[in-house]
Amino acid sequence: MEYRPVIGLEVHLQLKTASKIFCGCSTLFGASPNSQVCPVCLGLPGVLPVLNRQVFLYGVRVALGLQCKIQPTIVFHRKNYFYPDLPKGYQISQYDLPLGTGGHVVVPGTAAAPGTDFKVRIHRVHMEEDAGKLVHRPEEGYSLVDLNRAGVPLLEIVSEPDLESPEQAHEYLKTLKGILEYLEVSDCDMEKGSLRCDANISLSPASADRTAPPTGTKVEIKNLNSFKAVARSLAYEIKRQGRALDAGEKLMQETRLWDDVQGMTQGMRSKEFAHDYRYFPEPDLVPFAVPSEEIDRVGKGLPELPRQRAQRFVDQYKLPTADAVALTSSRSTADYYEACIRLLPKGKEASPCKAVANWLLGDLAREMNERNVDGIEGLKFPPGHLVELVDLIDSGKISGKMAKEVLTEALQSGQSPAAVVQAKGLSQVTDRESIRAAARKVLEEQPQAAADYKQGKGQSLMFLVGQLMRKTKGAANPGLAQEVLRELLENR
Amino acid sequence: MGISAKDVEYLAHLARIQLSPEELQRFSGQLDEILAYVEKLKKAKTEGAPPTSHVLPLTNVFREDKLQPSLSNEAALANAPSREGPYFKVPQIIDPTS
Ligand SMILES: [Zn+2]
């Protein structure tokens, strides 16, 4: 049977406040175990949590950035369960009166369908505290607990089940991460765990009405450590669930763990994690109702977000939409791009604007990938260097092909492109006489091609240009090489 | 009314407390009485009274995002029944991520 996947994502975002959500302990990552704890975050008797104002403001910022409505009354609840990383026996979270509801994110298409925007609704955004960290010693039969992370502020961002494929889920996460980076409320670093994701997925018959509530059995997937893992685990579940349904099996509503090495999900024995959290209002925290002026103030302070910025790039720099979207999806790349543009000589920006974009999205993106660096800063190739490189090509000092070599060398040595050109004596031969000498030699060596050209085979000219470039080791200016060759052939 | 000994057993499991069969019986009766009282409260006229989650007439109590000294590692672990180095040490629990 044909099925349509129904996918929703839950993202946990660690906010970059100095202190924890309900106490004054530091949130710094990587401190020695149990050195950033106090009676409040240890859950000792008789203490009172007090909400960190910055957590609330960051939360409002994110909720507004995701087009949510801020709720008039915001209440914290206790989510009760037992686990050694949770010292109080409950997590302070939010239940039926979360910070924000009813938002959406517009995702600019997938690789398979670029440019076809789709909208993902945001069900809710709420604040909660993180749990501690466990270090397991399975051979010895015990576990070690570090509570430094207990009480670190999190935002949970829950999407509606509007996603229909692993690719859409991946692109949604990319877009969401882009927005969150622009909002400057978190490192958004998946490796450090400051951005985490759980997925839920069910299958509906492909023919089912999209507007009706989905009827399939929902499976939750946890332990997803990268966007790639999210997409892979969903693809795996779509196959697994489809096969089971085709065989007439009944699916279980359960939580499954993704195993990235084996590339499969595995069911958790469900009794070990009862999903009965007995939520009740947190009596230690008063309700929150924020005056609309304060919310407006946060709203006015929101930065330009990726979608608006992409539109501005199209208008201002005359870039194709696809380039503008790609450049603005990461704030650091977009900032880098605009830093380059500011360095361009005034009055002649039009063509370099596109050239800078091409380098950023082409060779530099590839270098970032190959070197596995996160963000353009990781390349140690400042905007001034890229502008210099584009200018070297633009002024005819080096060819596009040479520029690629110059880039590689500049990245390796940390030198500026101009310095590389100077040091390696690379520069394009634009001297007509020396090109003519080389061209004469080529024509002597390739009498057949020369004769073909005379008989009207235009394409043999390109062959001869290729030979000439080879002879000059790529140093000849290709336009000039073609011109000189044609001249010599015509005058034969 | 609705609370059976089986319900109490489930709740006891969630709360990780062990109850004897007699206690299960006794508590299911007591919980029943509490719920009956809640039923009575439900009949009170509450139109026009907004739902409340807190008895104090207070809202928007914040603290600023300022660091306060934490406990020393020794103080934090002082009451721990078991420790290893700077860590609390606990019996092995089933790990939901392995
Ligand atoms: Zn603390």
Of the pLDDT bands very low, low, confident and very high (cuts 50, 70, 90), residue B94 is: low
Residues of B in contact with A75 (CB under 8 A): 53-54
SS (H, E, C) chain A: CCEEEEEEEEEEEECCCCECCCCCCECCCCCCCCCCCCHHHHCCCCCCCCEEHHHHHHHHHHHHHCCCEECCCECCEEEECCCCCCCCCEEEECCCCCCEEEEEEEEEECCCCEEEEEEEEEEEEEEEECCCEEEEECCCCEEEEECCCCCCEEEEEEECCCECCHHHHHHHHHHHHHHHHHHCCCCCCCCCCCEEEEEEEEEEECCCCCCCCCCCCCEEEEEECCHHHHHHHHHHHHHHHHHHHHCCCCCCCEEEEEECCCCEEEECCHHHCCCCCCCEECCCCCCECCCHHHHHHHHHCCCCCHHHHHHHHHHHHCCCHHHHHHHHCCHHHHHHHHHHHHHCCCCCCHHHHHHHHHHHHHHHHHHHHHCCCCCHHHHCCCHHHHHHHHHHHHCCCCCHHHHHHHHHHHHHHCCCHHHHHHHCCCCCECCHHHHHHHHHHHHHHCHHHHHHHHCCCCHHHHHHHHHHHHHCCCCECHHHHHHHHHHHHHCC
pLDDT for the residue numbered B55: 77
**Whether B90 and A24 lie within 8 Å, measured CB to CB:** no
Phi and psi based region of residue A300 (left: phi greater than 0; alpha: psi -120 to 50; beta: remaining) = alpha
Interface ipTM: 0.86
Per run of 10 residues, the mean pLDDT along chain A (length 492 residues) is 95 98 96 97 95 97 97 95 92 97 92 82 98 91 96 98 96 95 94 93 91 88 92 97 94 92 85 72 93 93 95 92 91 93 75 87 90 81 92 81 88 90 74 80 88 85 87 78 86 76
Question: Are the beta carbons of A5 and A234 closer than 8 angstroms?
Answer: yes
Residue appearing with tokens 């670190």: A152
Q: How far is CA A366 from CA A10, A188, A358, A380, in A?
A: 30, 22, 12, 14
Query: In residues, how long is chain A?
Result: 492
Residue B1 has a pLDDT of: 55
CB contact under 8 A, B71 and A142: no
pLDDT score, position A430: 66
| Residue among A430, A438, A418 at smallest CA distance from A488 | A438
Residues of B in Cβ contact (< 8 Å) with A137: 92
Residue A273: predicted pLDDT? 53
Calpha distance A446→A449 (Å, rounded): 6
Whether A23 and B97 lie within 8 Å, measured CB to CB: no
CB-CB contact of A129 with A93 (8 Å): yes
For chain A, domain boundaries: 3-298, 306-424, 432-490
Q: For position B65, what pLDDT does the model report?
A: 98
The pLDDT assigned to A264 comes to 96
Q: Please state which architecture CATH assigns to domain A432-490.
A: Orthogonal Bundle (1.10)
Nearest-Cα residue of chain B relative to residue A224: B97
Integer CA distances (angstroms), A81 to A218, A269, B16, in order: 22, 16, 10
pLDDT, residue A187, reads 92
Q: Give pLDDT, residue A227.
A: 92
A26 shares contact with chain B (CB less than 8 Å): yes
Q: B98 pLDDT band (50/70/90 cuts)?
A: very low
Predicted confidence at residue A185, as pLDDT, reads: 97
B62, B65, B71: best to mutate for the A interface, most A CBs within 10 A:
B65
CA A18 – CA B63 distance, rounded (Å):
12
CA distance A195 to A229: 14
- Domains of chain B are 5-42 (1.10.20)
Facing residue for B70 by CB, picked from A35, A56, A97: A35
Contacts with B29 (C-beta within 8 Å, 6 or more apart), sequence order:
none
Q: Which helix (H) or strand (E) holds B39?
A: helix B21-42
Render pLDDT for B38-87 as a digit per residue (tens, 0 to 9).
999 999 888 888 777 777 778 899 999 999 999 999 999 999 999 999 99
Q: Are A81 and B15 within 8 A, CB to CB?
A: no
**Per-residue pLDDT, A433:** 75
Q: Which residues contact A249 (CB under 8 A, 6 or more apart)?
A: none
